[in-house]
Amino acid sequence: MTARVLVVDDILSNVKLLEAKLSAEYFEVVTAFNGLEALEKVEESEPDIILLDVMMPGMDGFEVCRRIKQNPKTAHVPVVMVTALDQPSDRVAGLEAGADDFLTKPVDDAALFARVRSLVRLKMMTDELRMRETTGQNMGLVDPAETLIEAAPGGRILVIEDRPESVAWFNSALAPANEVSAVDMFEEAVVRVRGGDFDLIIVSLGLRGFDGLRLCSQLRSLPEGRNVPILVVVSDGDRRKLTQALEMGVNDYLTRPVDRNELTARVRTQLRKKRYADRLRHNVQLSLEMAITDQLTGLHNRRYMSRHLDTLIGNARRSGKPISFLIMDIDHFKSVNDTHGHDIGDEVLREFAGRISANVRGIDLACRYGGEEFVVVMPDTDVTFASTIAERLRASVEATPFKISRAPNNLCITISIGIASSECGDDSADALLHRADQALYRAKREGRNRVIADAA
């Protein structure tokens, strides 16, 4: 794995040493020698990770980190503070400033590289979500996710530990701000993660009953556990387990004896990151849904229908089963808009879409075709059954007035429906749509409020 690393330190020899080590591992290195230069380089070079010294003249590393994390353009870039400071209060100060990790010099090279690679992998996953979210923003579909600096709410935390005194300590440190559960068995942990909807998992790698690393690997392989941050607790000096844990994708770690303030700081950081990643995923999913959904009615839009018609026709041709198309139109809809306003017209369209959804099956494809026209594609359906469904829908629309938000508070609406069916799947999608459209025109010419099936 390669990545662009920004090294920030006011001592030239420190910079050169890290640059040489990172370059030997095939990382691209960018350097800065003070806080202001670091902020400029972050904007210019777009690093994948920042190794930041704390003790610098002028602007110290804590302030640099805070500014990076407060900037929505750079808040997602991981920051590792590499410094001679070695007190728990120093680590907490760095984490509170937004740092992703705090490493004390002299740093073991293997541990440093493992942490850098781990954070870069996690950033690449976030970058992919950010890129997709940006596409949605450019299309005007979604608003940007919050930045990482915003305060994180409490979360649901699962502690996996088989020492009762440690479980009690974690509970006292994390509750009541968080909802804490604890398990001490491998199988129970897997079951809980599969159904628990947790925001963070804390795994002790000193478990006596089973291998904590194997559990982490198992949890990462579960669909329900893939996006849940994992924080492991390792014994001080156990570099092997820590390196293996980072390589398999855990998000963060604590070393025993665990400092309470450091625990809460790292937990807040992971909860904040998960909320940000969840929001990105939500925005990506929302973008996908909005790209294929008509925003007024909630039905699929014409674009989605066009992309799936050939697939549905192909399935019908291969199976030899019939497929039917319904095109329906609200009668005299223009007069609804002219008399009551376009907002009332929108209310009528929304309610009509709801009635369509209530009268078709789950396998049917219901779409807003444009204006007041709607299309329903019905796989495995012959013209007789399609006509029965269409007549039921027409009758329900005629019998039950549409509720509206202004006087007269309801409107009597009727619809016309045209049907075309391919009994052996030989027709193309365009041909079926055209035939259904012609049937709709016949229904309108013959007086509206009726169902006409194409005779082909």
Does residue 155 share a domain with residue 43? no
**Pairwise CA distance, residues 403 & 409, whole Å:** 6
What is the model's pLDDT at position 122?
84
pLDDT digit string (tens) for 26-73? 999 999 999 999 999 999 999 999 999 999 999 999 999 999 999 988
**Is the domain of 447 the same as that of 307?**
yes
The reported pLDDT for the residue numbered 1 is 60
Question: Is the same domain home to 227 and 98?
Answer: no
pLDDT confidence of residue 140: 53
Note whether 100 and 192 are same-domain residues.
no
> Does residue 137 belong to any structural domain of this protein?
no
> Which of these three, 107, 124, 155, is where a domain ends?
107
Q: Which amino acid makes up residue 146?
A: E
Q: Looking at the structure, tell me whether residues 254 and 318 fall in a common domain.
A: no
CATH number of the CATH domain containing 31 = 3.40.50.2300
Residue where a domain stops, chosen among 234, 261, 287? 287
* 296 within domain boundaries: no
- Which is the catalytic residue, given 133, 347, 351, 372? 372
DSSP string covering 65-83, please? HHHHHHSTTTTTS-EEEEE
pLDDT at 278: 87
Instruction: Kindly state whether residues 7 and 97 are assigned to the same domain.
Output: yes
How many distinct structural domains can be found in the chain? 3
pLDDT at 105: 83
Check whether residue 194 and residue 240 sit in a common domain. yes
Q: Are residues 49 and 98 in the same domain?
A: yes
Residues 189 and 100 reside in one and the same domain: no
Q: What is the pLDDT of residue 147?
A: 53
Q: Where in the sequence is the domain holding 324, given as residue range(s)?
A: 302-453
pLDDT at residue number 124: 84
Domain identity same for 82 and 179: no
How many CA atoms, within 13 angstroms, populate the side-chain half-sphere of residue 260? 9
Which CATH number fits the domain that encloses residue 342? 3.30.70.270
Residues of the chain with pLDDT under 50: none
Strand segments (E) across 53-116: 79-83, 101-104
Whether residue 151 sits in one domain with residue 192? yes
Instruction: Identify the domain boundary among 287, 313, 342.
Output: 287
Rounded to two decimals, the pTM is: 0.68
Determine whether 150 is an active site residue: no
Contacts made by residues 401-404, CB under 8 angstroms, sequence distance 24+: 402/347, 402/348, 402/351, 402/352, 403/351, 404/340, 404/344, 404/347, 404/348
Residues 164 and 282 in one domain: yes
